[in-house]
Amino acid sequence: MIHHFDAIVLGGGAAGLMCAIEAGKRGRRVAVLEHADRLGKKILISGGGRCNFTNLHCGPENFLSANPHFAKSALARYTPEDFIALVTKHRIPFHEKTLGQLFCDRSARDILELLEEECREGGVSFFLNTKIQEVTRTSEFIVRVAGGAFHAPALVVATGGLSIPKMGATAFGYDLARQFGLKIREPWPGLVPLVLSGEDRSRYCDLAGVSAEVIASCDGQQFREKMLITHRGLSGPAVLQISSYWKKPQRIRIDLAPGAEVTAVFRDAKTPRTLTALRTEFRKTLPQRFADRWLELHAPSAWTNSALADFENAAHGWEVAPAGTEGYEKAEVTAGGVDTDELSAKTMESRKVTGLYFVGEVVDVTGQLGGFNFQWAWASGAAAGRAL
C-alpha cells in the first residue's frame, strides 16, 4: 500500500511530535513513523517519571555544539514560555524544582498526552511498530516499510541519538544523514556517570551512596551541584553535567569544599594543628565518611603553613582521570550528531538536500542537565514544523 503525505516524520519522540504538531496546525498532512509500539517512550521515563520539560533560564550557553550560535535562532522562536503556554492550556500542574527546572506535579504521562492530543487536533497520522527498510529520493522522498511505502516531498528525521538502546535508540538518523552526504560529528555519550580507574575505585567506591556539593570543572566549564559516589565511579548532577564536556584522557577537577577554607581555623594560634582538628573542620563541608577517607589518603605532609596550603589546594582541586563513562546504556543524551553546518538554523532543513530536515537529539546540539534537552527538542521540532 502506498501512502501520500505532505511530510513524513521519522521518530515519534519529543522533537518529532512537536514538529508534527506545528506542521499539522498549518494544515499539512503529516505521518509520524515510529518503530516502537508506542510514542514518546523516553518522555515517560524522563525526569524520574516527572519529565523536566523545560527550564526557565534557557539560553544558548546551556547547549554544547561545535557551533555555539546554531541553536540561537530556533531557541528564540520557540521559548520555554511557549511550551509552558501549552502545559497551561492542558491544565497540567507543574512546579519549579530548582534552578529554573520545571517538572510535572503528577507524571510525565501528562506531557505525552498533551503532545498526542495536539497531534490529533492537527490531524497527524501515526504509524507505530513501523520498521523502516529504506529511504530513497526521486522527485519526492519514499520511505519503504514492510508491506508498503510512504511518499512525501518533505522528510523530517527525528530518531534521536544512541542513548538507552534498550528503549529503542538507533543510529538510524546518522546513517540516513550519511546516505544523503551530510557530515556527522562523531557522537559520544553525554550526561553520563563516570567510571574511575581501578586504583581510584579501590580508594573511594566502597563509599557508594555518599554525596556532597562540589564544583566539577573540565574544558572551561564548571558546575556547582551534588556529586555522588557510585559502585564504579562518580555521578550526581555535577558529574553528569561535566561528563558531556569530558573526553579521555582529560582530567576533571573537583572542588570538594566550594567557598570554604578548610584550614582557616589554624590561623588562630590557639587551635592545635592536629588531624583531629582538621577532620572536624573538613566534616563541616564533606560527609563524614568521605572527609575521613580523603584525610586518610591526603593528610598534610606536615603542620607548617605551606603544607596546610598544599592540603587546602588539593581539597579544592581534586584531579580525577576517569577511566571512561558508563556509556550509552546510562547516558541521558548523545552529544555530537548531524553537523550543524549542514543545516539551516532557521528551519533545520539540509542545505544540500531540499526537503530533508533533522530535529532534536540527532543534531549536534546537546543540552545541559535541567530540561534543556527537551527545550531543544521542542524548539528544533517547531522550527522544522513551521517550515514544512
Ligand X SMILES: Cc1cc2nc3c(=O)[nH]c(=O)nc-3n(C[C@H](O)[C@H](O)[C@H](O)COP(=O)(O)OP(=O)(O)OC[C@H]3O[C@@H](n4cnc5c(N)ncnc54)[C@H](O)[C@@H]3O)c2cc1C
Q: Which is nearer to ligand X, 31 or 252 (CB)?
A: 31
- CB atoms near residue 99 (< 10 Å): 13
Distance of closest approach, residue 13 Cβ to ligand X, in angstroms? 2
Is 14 one of the binding residues for ligand X (CB under 6 A)? Answer: yes
Q: What whole-number distance in Å separates Cα of residue 31 and Cα of residue 145?
A: 13
Distance of closest approach, residue 374 Cβ to ligand X, in angstroms? 3
Q: Which of 30, 135, 308, 333 binds ligand X (CB under 6 A)?
A: 333
Grid coordinates representing 213 are 556539593
Distance of closest approach, residue 326 Cβ to ligand X, in angstroms? 12
Q: Which is nearer to ligand X, 11 or 187 (CB)?
A: 11
3-state helix, strand, coil in the chain (%, to 5): 35, 25, 40
Scan residues 16-45 and list those touching ligand X (CB under 6 A): 16, 33-36, 41-42, 45
Q: Which residue is nearest to ligand X (CB)?
A: 13
Q: Which of 111, 152, 158, 234 binds ligand X (CB under 6 A)?
A: 158
Strand partners, 7: 30, 154
Is 168 one of the binding residues for ligand X (CB under 6 A)? Answer: yes
Site string (172-191) toward ligand X, x via CB under 6 A = x-------------------
Is 13 one of the binding residues for ligand X (CB under 6 A)? Answer: yes
Q: Which of 119, 262, 308, 377 binds ligand X (CB under 6 A)?
A: 377
Q: Which is nearer to ligand X, 37 or 319 (CB)?
A: 37
> To which residue does cell 514538529 refer?
19
Fill in the DSSP letter of residue 5. -
Is 322 one of the binding residues for ligand X (CB under 6 A)? Answer: no
Is 170 one of the binding residues for ligand X (CB under 6 A)? Answer: yes
Picking from 314, 388, 310, 319, the residue whose alpha carbon sits closest to that of residue 347 is 388
Grid coordinates representing 170 are 538507533
Q: What whole-number distance in Å separates Cα of residue 343 and Cα of residue 177?
A: 11
Q: Which is nearer to ligand X, 104 or 212 (CB)?
A: 104
- Is 340 within 8 Å of 303 (Cβ atoms)? no
- Is 263 within 8 Å of 306 (Cβ atoms)? no
Q: Which is nearer to ligand X, 12 or 322 (CB)?
A: 12
Q: What amino acid is encoded at 253 in this protein?
A: R
Is 163 one of the binding residues for ligand X (CB under 6 A)? Answer: yes
Scan residues 337-376 and list those touching ligand X (CB under 6 A): 360-361, 371-374
Q: Which is nearer to ligand X, 33 or 212 (CB)?
A: 33
Give the largest CA-CA distance in the chain. 88
- Is 21 within 8 Å of 115 (Cβ atoms)? yes
Q: Which is nearer to ligand X, 14 or 295 (CB)?
A: 14
- The alpha carbon torsion through 362, 149, 382, 129 (nearest 10 deg) reads -70
Grid coordinates representing 151 are 511518499
Distance of closest approach, residue 144 Cβ to ligand X, in angstroms? 12
- Is 362 within 8 Å of 373 (Cβ atoms)? no
Using CB atoms within 10 Å of the CB of residue 384, give its burial: 0 to 12 exposed, 13 to 18 middle, 19+ buried: buried
Site string (95-134) toward ligand X, x via CB under 6 A = -------------------------------------x--
Residues that bind ligand X (CB under 6 A): 10-16, 33-36, 41-42, 45-47, 51-52, 132, 158-160, 163-164, 168, 170, 172, 332-333, 360-361, 371-374, 377
